[in-house]
Structure 1
């Protein structure tokens, strides 16, 4: 590999314009692919085969009108007074005019809904009055029937007495026939009374059934009393917008059309805002913070390299690489469903590693030039040595990112794959475009004074001395204690997805969230969609009772504010309910409620409940990601050990490297929790409302920080091994290797912290914690673990650090990462 890279570097230096032109063509091709293949980016996330996903699939089959995405438009009077009739009319007119909005299935008028509620309450009151009137009428009719029966009984008794007297007196048949005729009349009258009694009993039964149905409806209405669309003071109204497309398939254009419509004709004295389901758009790939971060990286490069020409080269190669990687990735966004953060992650990593990897090669080349080496030969050797290390380091990052696919979570695997593409492009740019640009600038990569002194004998700095053992022990104890202290908050980490409270304070989403919570309660921002599989063959007249049975069971749960039936399938097999919890989307009580409802035994042994809704979906995603984190961490740690054993031909050095990575990782987790969940120093990074940690952040940090940590480990420990192999004592080799690599690792670490830190100030609540976690993770790993803890441990282990069983040594391949053999073949001096 080293020899191949040497030839590539030398070729690129001699044919610089051809290489530059080739990469320019690749950039144009990526741009053309972007133009032709760019599709929709989604701000939503999903994990297949979750409990909420199963509920949504069932809704798509049985109640498709409730399977699409939904959002809320919030209207509130500016002065806090109740809406005037004119304001109500204008808002209703806007709602009525929503026909034709793309992907919009229904828009609910809150004022009409409240009128329907009031009408239903009046109907219930009227129904109770009518039933009471009917009961009085039935009682009066029953009294009349009872009197009629009594009269008939008296007439029957008189007739019976007359018959007995007639028969005793030997009355003629004519007289008896007259009595029989009277008996027939009495029997007919009795039959009529019996029929009237049957009718009266049937009416009473029907009245009782109506009363029962009325009371069932009244109880359902009472359970839903706290589900309101207009606040009690009449100053706030919620307009529910239902879409035909699921949230993952809903385009930003459709959401923007809703926003544009409701903002197109402002209602005087009324403010409008939108929930995150509608207003949360695709974040900017590059913003002011990111530009500042690159600017800081440029300053670091200028200070280290001493010339603007040299400082510009890593930035140019990184920007071109990012352009190619991101455009190529986005070219497939019309084919695969891609999260909006995917290209941003590619930009983050592409910029950071692109600058660093190019810097490693440039730094090696500059040192060789200062010793009088030929430009082209020096570029070839730098590419075969430092470039070889870059390829290896970049490969570890790529492998770690691609390993995200084993989590089985599609959006996470795609993010890892896209980021891996950007890192791979950065590596290719470093080993081809960087040598070409170095060939073009020639000696100008050095400052003028350095060029003048090139090839002249140089005063070598004093040989380094091993650190003291006491100092090494104290360093290990202090750094380990500091990292473990930083990791403590990680024990209370809660995962979730951002809601409106996390958005910038001046955003429409944040305003909608706050207004909704203040006017309707926290649960109004976290409605749950609960389904119940009803008993088969349920008749229509049994439906209301079945719905109430389920609603009662739900209402009995802790932290339920209200529950209302909203739909039933055509075959009465599936009922849907809206449930308003007492807590917000990311509250622990809402999470507990979701689990409580799912764990509830089938109501009356037959009605099985399912829970969906945005809050439940977010909970499922967070728990799914939390489950894969340990598995992914074990895989990455195992990968780390294997790679380091092959590279350093040692057992203890890989353990040190991996243990340090775990310490820096959990210190990063703890700091992220302290800032974004606990709210410590939250104002410094613009955290509006502390809450759960971004659900996929821990997994992403594992993959990225592992790869980058191994980069720094490689550039420091390989120098130590080289010194040890060339005859230095183990402890002296630690000092020599550390001195050889510290300046470039410091510069590389500062550059990465600057680039990642620029994303901390992004407007996106998803990007902000990711940028912070990566920046802090690199800061801790590069400057605490790799430059303090690792050298101290290596010193204490002394030569045992390089111990490897002979049997293992014989089977391991010889990986010359630093290209020592190449240096011997192409001696520059």
Structure 2
């Protein structure tokens, strides 16, 4: 075979089938060694410095260099139980008790005096904590929680709630872990059930799940040493599980379905494995390459999170491809016809009926008869679903996008409402050789101008470095960080207020803080996003061009990918920006889509949808190469692959739908966008748009040359499908 994309899986399959125990033991050794690496090598995680962007990133650098970073702070909010005015004497007593208990804890560096809200309905005690190399110690966190609980018990008339840097992070991490744990717990049996429906036999159903699971385990281990090149991020584990289960199951499904099909046609197990390697193995390499190329485009962003996600996804896809073309043929060779045992009678009969493509044939028949009408009608449906994407707004994740049922989130929202300087803020950092007096004087002028302008409601004390060359001023705002008014206030601070007040100083000044980080990230993404989209589409188009040597087919594939992405973005805008279905999904619409979600959905969707797209097009191309006209090859190829595509898409849609039910809004967005787009992609796009486009193109679909007919193959003129021409 001259084509390496066909030769590689065939050689791997032949060797694995001839030496099954070597291949199986080699795979097990890879998994064991990889898992061992995770135990022996501590992963290198991303640091705060990895996320710095623009002017806000420079502000963080100056603060860190001057050792002016604010320590982790825990806040204790005191309000009257049941609402209403506070008893000041009781608040003073509670605050004194809290201060005494907190001061006794090792690791507490300062306890602030009681701060009263402007309305006098809330009081706040802030406790600064000492960080060690790994953050706040578990003992300190537990001791502070116990102190707060004791004060709460001793003062029944007060509502005493604690939240802050450490407790909020811990609560979020715990919720994320719970969400992912429940998703993984549900997704495995759901995937196994879908595989039982696809195969009707227990061993055949278990093989794809087993291969996907071991691929995920091996990748988790390999990421430990790889993290010293690409630091790993906390969310990469869930990404590996998500992508690994999807592609691992799909690749095994494609290979196993073809092997069983060839055995059913009377071929021996070894011949069936070789044909599966030549056809489905080729599809696996192409689709795996497409996924890797698509995900690799994330590196263009230069963002620590995207770099980590890209590295994990690339490794798990590569491992899944390796397992599909090596250990899977070995298992099939060893099991032989026992792969179809034990059969589940009802599911076996149902599988046999679905496998003949009866449903898809009924959908496909009118498309074949009226391809232009089908193309226009389905195109209008896709366009209607994609139109809302034109008005999609993105925003920065903040307290408002976190689950409201997390107590620490509710407490931080209450603190922000009662004490605006504890909510959204802007951080002005000045580094100048002019001296302490000049610095403090300039920042005092800036504070007065900012408060007079009206957008800022309060200011913290100016913090100075030990050598007096760097100063930091925090300015509070009465809005959430995602509020457009907060962004406008920071822009005004950067463009007019700060330049006017600090004009006489030498050195540099920058404006940072949470709101500024969002603005800088938006600006950075505004330039990078089109580049990433272009890179994804170009790479996948080149992959299709290389695999099928057809310019029209590569262009059609790119257009279909764009259609699916448009639908995904449209659904995100409808559901999360406009609130459609928010009641059913149990969330409150923030009025925007979280910034990183569209790019993430784009890359993952294009990569995963290429799985069954390549599988379908490969089967069509097989029939064209045997001499069938394109119209007949399209009809037959899609009918023959419909069952596999349905099963593959069902696995993806079910897994992503589970994520749509979780409490974290980012996971809901990811789940809704991907589930809706893949459902439509596997039905309307692949069953209507693709065949209609190829039929209309006719023989021109394979330009610049029709696929070569395999040696010894003859066109099947007796076939009823051929008679349709």
Q: What's 1:237 paired with?
A: 124
Q: What's 2:279 paired with?
A: 385
> Measured at CA, do residues 627 and 19 of structure 1 come closer, stay the same or move farther in structure 2, by a change above 3 Å?
same
Report the 3-state secondary structure (helix = DSSP H, G, I; strand = E; otherwise coil) of the residue aligned with 2:462. Answer: strand
> Measured at CA, do residues 652 and 6 of structure 1 come closer, stay the same or move farther in structure 2, by a change above 3 Å?
closer
Q: What's 2:721 paired with?
A: none
Q: What's 1:349 paired with?
A: 243
Report the 3-state secondary structure (helix = DSSP H, G, I; strand = E; otherwise coil) of the residue aligned with 2:580. Answer: coil
Matches within 5 A, 1:792-807: 792-804=692-704
> Measured at CA, do residues 627 and 344 of structure 1 come closer, stay the same or move farther in structure 2, by a change above 3 Å?
same
Return the match for 2:500 from 576, 594, 603: 603
CA shift digits 1:122-172 (9 cap, x unpaired): xxxxxxxxxxxxxxxxxxxxxxxxxxxxxxxxxxxxxxxxxxxxxxxxxxx
Matches within 5 A, 1:223-302: 230=117, 232-239=119-126, 241=128, 251=134, 254=136, 259-265=141-147, 266=149, 267=151, 268=153, 269=156, 270-275=159-164, 276-277=168-169, 279-281=171-173, 283-284=176-177, 286-302=180-196
Q: What's 2:719 paired with?
A: none
Shift of residue 368, structure 1, vs aligned partner: 1.1
Shift of residue 333, structure 1, vs aligned partner: 4.7
> Measured at CA, do residues 612 and 724 of structure 1 come closer, stay the same or move farther in structure 2, by a change above 3 Å?
same
Report the 3-state secondary structure (helix = DSSP H, G, I; strand = E; otherwise coil) of the residue aligned with 1:272. Answer: strand
> Measured at CA, do residues 388 and 529 of structure 1 come closer, stay the same or move farther in structure 2, by a change above 3 Å?
same
Task: Tell me, in whole angstroms, the C-alpha distance in 2 between the residues paired with 1:313 and 1:390.
Answer: 16
**Unmatched segments (≥5 aa) in structure 1:** 115-227, 454-458, 825-829
Task: Tell me, in whole angstroms, the C-alpha distance in 2 between the residues paired with 1:731 and 1:538.
Answer: 81
Shift of residue 571, structure 1, vs aligned partner: 5.5
The answer as to whether partners of 2:53 and 2:521 remain within 8 angstroms in 1 is no
> Measured at CA, do residues 543 and 699 of structure 1 come closer, stay the same or move farther in structure 2, by a change above 3 Å?
closer
The answer as to whether partners of 2:107 and 2:140 remain within 8 angstroms in 1 is no
Return the match for 1:65 from 65, 68, 71: 68
The answer as to whether partners of 2:386 and 2:571 remain within 8 angstroms in 1 is yes
Task: Tell me, in whole angstroms, the C-alpha distance in 2 between the residues paired with 1:296 and 1:43.
Answer: 36
**Unmatched segments (≥5 aa) in structure 2:** 350-354, 715-725
Identify the range of structure 1 (717-726 vs 396-405) with the bigger mean alpha-carbon deviation: 717-726
> Measured at CA, do residues 586 and 543 of structure 1 come closer, stay the same or move farther in structure 2, by a change above 3 Å?
closer
Return the match for 1:509 from 380, 386, 408: 408
Shift of residue 355, structure 1, vs aligned partner: 0.3
2:678 aligned with 1:768: no
Matches within 5 A, 1:580-729: 580-600=476-496, 602-604=499-501, 605-607=503-505, 609-688=509-588, 690-729=590-629
> Measured at CA, do residues 56 and 468 of structure 1 come closer, stay the same or move farther in structure 2, by a change above 3 Å?
closer
Task: Tell me, in whole angstroms, the C-alpha distance in 2 between the residues paired with 1:33 and 1:629.
Answer: 35
Task: Tell me, in whole angstroms, the C-alpha distance in 2 between the residues paired with 1:764 and 1:45.
Answer: 25
2:474 aligned with 1:575: no
TM-score normalised by length of structure 1: 0.75
Shift of residue 738, structure 1, vs aligned partner: 1.3
Identify the range of structure 1 (269-278 vs 610-619) with the bigger mean alpha-carbon deviation: 269-278
Q: What's 1:148 paired with?
A: none
2:6 aligned with 1:109: no
2:93 aligned with 1:93: no
Matches within 5 A, 1:391-790: 391-446=285-340, 467=366, 471-521=370-420, 524-532=422-430, 537=434, 540=437, 545-557=441-453, 559-570=455-466, 572-600=468-496, 602-604=499-501, 605-607=503-505, 609-688=509-588, 690-790=590-690
- Residues paired across the two proteins, number: 679
Larger Cα Rg: Structure 1 or Structure 2? Answer: 1
CA shift digits 1:338-390 (9 cap, x unpaired): 21111111110000000000000000011011122212332233123211211
Task: Tell me, in whole angstroms, the C-alpha distance in 1 between the residues paired with 2:61 and 2:447.
Answer: 22
The answer as to whether partners of 1:501 and 1:689 remain within 8 angstroms in 2 is no
The answer as to whether partners of 2:288 and 2:321 remain within 8 angstroms in 1 is yes
Report the 3-state secondary structure (helix = DSSP H, G, I; strand = E; otherwise coil) of the residue aligned with 1:560. Answer: coil
Report the 3-state secondary structure (helix = DSSP H, G, I; strand = E; otherwise coil) of the residue aligned with 1:338. Answer: coil
Shift of residue 579, structure 1, vs aligned partner: 0.9
Identify the range of structure 1 (86-95 vs 76-85) with the bigger mean alpha-carbon deviation: 76-85
Shift of residue 589, structure 1, vs aligned partner: 1.3
Task: Tell me, in whole angstroms, the C-alpha distance in 2 between the residues paired with 1:318 and 1:311.
Answer: 12
CA shift digits 1:554-612 (9 cap, x unpaired): 22445322234422345654432111112101111112222222222622533564222
Task: Tell me, in whole angstroms, the C-alpha distance in 2 between the residues paired with 1:471 and 1:652.
Answer: 21
The answer as to whether partners of 1:75 and 1:236 remain within 8 angstroms in 2 is yes
CA RMSD between the two structures = 3.4
> Measured at CA, do residues 771 and 562 of structure 1 come closer, stay the same or move farther in structure 2, by a change above 3 Å?
same
> Measured at CA, do residues 473 and 561 of structure 1 come closer, stay the same or move farther in structure 2, by a change above 3 Å?
farther
Return the match for 1:24 from 14, 28, 31: 28
Identify the range of structure 1 (620-629 vs 255-264) with the bigger mean alpha-carbon deviation: 255-264
TM-score normalised by length of structure 2: 0.85
> Measured at CA, do residues 70 and 484 of structure 1 come closer, stay the same or move farther in structure 2, by a change above 3 Å?
farther
Q: What's 2:213 paired with?
A: 319
Shift of residue 526, structure 1, vs aligned partner: 1.4
